[in-house]
Amino acid sequence: MGWFDDLRDYYRLVGPLRFTIFLSGLIAIIVGYAAIGTWLMDKTGWPDAYGSVCHGRKCWLNYLYHSPKLLNTAHIFELLLFAWMWILPGATGAMIGIVLLRRWLKRRQQRIRPLDY
């Protein structure tokens, strides 16, 4: 099942108005996130001013590697750009950690404990 089929099923489930509101909100969040990042990169001179020579779409890991240099000056735009860069990896790591913690707690609670005589 492709993601178009999933979208069609979601459209049928919630109706056209709620689907349009949801999709518009999601697109607005993505575009806003990208616009804020572009604006912060323009204000700070990122990546050229911080030693990264990579340009393009496949430079995300290189940007994360060089991002601690943003903390050296500690101006507001550099701090915001650092937070902007690390919010997605941090949120992903937190979600994975929560899932693993819940699984561990569930396995721990469902153990059979022997009775003491």
Percentage of the chain beyond pLDDT 70 is 92
Q: What angle do CA 91, 4, 59 make, to 5 degrees?
A: 40
Residues sharing a CB contact under 8 Å with residue 70, sequence separation 6 or more, in sequence order: 44, 46, 50, 78, 79, 81, 82
pTM: 0.75
Question: How far apart are the C-alpha atoms of 74 and 44, rounded to whole Å?
Answer: 11
Domain ranges of the chain: 3-85
pLDDT for 3-42, tens place per residue? Answer: 788 888 888 999 989 989 999 999 999 999 999 999 999 9
Tell me how long the chain is: 117
Question: How far apart are the C-alpha atoms of 81 and 37, rounded to whole Å?
Answer: 7
